[in-house]
Chains A and B, each alone.
Chain A
Amino acid sequence: MEEFLKQYLDPKFAITFAYLIKIFCIVIPVMISVAYLTYFERRVIGFMQSRIGPNRVGFFGLLQPIADALKLLFKEIILPAKSNNFLFFLAPLLSIAPALAAWAVIPFGFEMVLADINAGLLYVLAMTSIAVYGVIIAGWASNSKYAFLGSLRSAAQIVSYEIAMGFTLVGVLMCANSLNLGEIVMAQQGGISQWYCWPLFPLFIIYFISAVAETNRAPFDVAEGESEIVAGFHVEYSGMAFALFFLAEYANMILVSILAVIMFLGGWMSPFSFIPDGIFWLLVKVAFVLFFFIWFRATFPRYRYDQIMRLGWKVFIPLTLIWIIFIGAMMQTDYAEYFH
Chain B
Amino acid sequence: MAEIKNYTMNFGPQHPAAHGVLRLILELDGEVIQRADPHIGLLHRATEKLAENRTYIQSIPYMDRLDYVSMMMNEHAYVMAIEKMLNLKVPIRAQYIRVLFDEITRLLNHLLWLGCHALDVGAMSVFLYTFREREDLFDCYEAVSGARMHAAYYRPGGVYRDLPDHMPQFQNTRFSRPNVTHKLNENRQGSLLDFIDDFANRFPKHIDEYETLLTDNRIWKQRTVGIGVVSPERAIELGFTGPMLRGSGIEWDLRKKQPYEVYDKLNFDIPVGVEGDCYDRYLVRIEEMRQSINLIKQCSKWIRVNPGPVISDNQKYAPPKRQDMKEDMESMIHHFKLFTEGFHLPKGEAYAAVEHPKGEFGIYLISDGANKPYRLKIRAPGFAHLSSLDEMTKGHMISDLVAIIGTQDIVFGEIDR
Contact = CB atoms under 8 A, between A and B. Distances in A.
A48 B125 contact: yes
Interface in B375-401: 397-400
Interface residues of A, number: 29
A305 interface: yes
B125 A301 contact: no
A230 interface: yes
A239 B223 CA distance: 34
A297 B398 contact: no
Contacts of A49: 124-125, 128-129
A297 B124 contact: yes
Given A49-B128, A228-B398, A301-B118, A145 B7 contact: yes
Interface in A194-251: 218-219, 221-222, 225-230
Interface stretch (B45-53, B152-160, B214-222, B288-296): B214-222
B399 A301 contact: no
B397 A306 contact: yes
Nearest to B32: A306
Contact of A301 (B7, B123, B397, B400): B123
A297 B7 CA distance: 31
B15 interface: yes
Nearest to B396: A304
Contacts of B397: 304-306
B128 A51 contact: yes
Contacts of A299: 123, 125, 213
Interface string A142-157: 0001100100000000
Contacts of A306: 397
B124 A304 contact: no
Contacts of B120: 227
Contacts of A307: 222-223
Contacts of A297: 124
Contacts of B122: 218-219, 221, 225-227, 300-302
B402 A50 contact: no
B114 interface: no
A132 B142 CA distance: 52
Task: State the main secondary structure of chain A at its contact with B.
Answer: helix
A298 interface: yes
Contacts of A145: 7, 9-10
Q: Which one of A230, A301, A303 has the greatest number of beta carbons of chain B within 10 Å?
A: A301
B119 interface: yes
Given A49-B124, A49-B128, A300-B219, 9 more contacts: A49-B125, A221-B122, A299-B125, A301-B123, A302-B219, A302-B223, A303-B219, A307-B222, A307-B223
Nearest to A218: B122
A229 B398 CA distance: 8
A307 B227 CA distance: 13
Contacts of A149: 31, 398
B121 interface: yes
A145 B129 CA distance: 34
A281 B398 CA distance: 44
Interface residues of B, number: 30
B178 interface: no
B217 A301 contact: yes
A20 B402 CA distance: 49
B125 A228 contact: no
A304 B400 contact: yes
Interface string A305-316: 111000000000
Closest 3 CB pairs of A and B: A302-B122, A49-B128, A301-B123
A246 B234 CA distance: 46
Nearest to B128: A49
Contacts of B219: 219, 300-303
A50 B129 contact: yes
A219 B15 CA distance: 20
Contacts of A227: 16-17, 119-122, 402
12 contacts: A45-B124, A145-B7, A226-B16, A230-B15, A300-B123, A300-B217, A301-B122, A302-B122, A303-B222, A304-B222, A304-B223, A305-B31
B399 A302 contact: yes
Contacts of B399: 222, 225, 228, 302, 304-305
Nearest to B31: A305
Contacts of B89: none
A50 B128 contact: yes
B16 A50 contact: no
B301 interface: no
Interface in B92-137: 118-125, 128-129, 132
Nearest to A145: B9
A303 B124 CA distance: 13
A228 B402 contact: yes
A175 to B, nearest CB: 31
A241 B10 CA distance: 25
Interface centre among B119, B120, B219 (most CB of A within 10 A): B219
B128 to A, nearest CB: 4
A307 B223 CA distance: 9
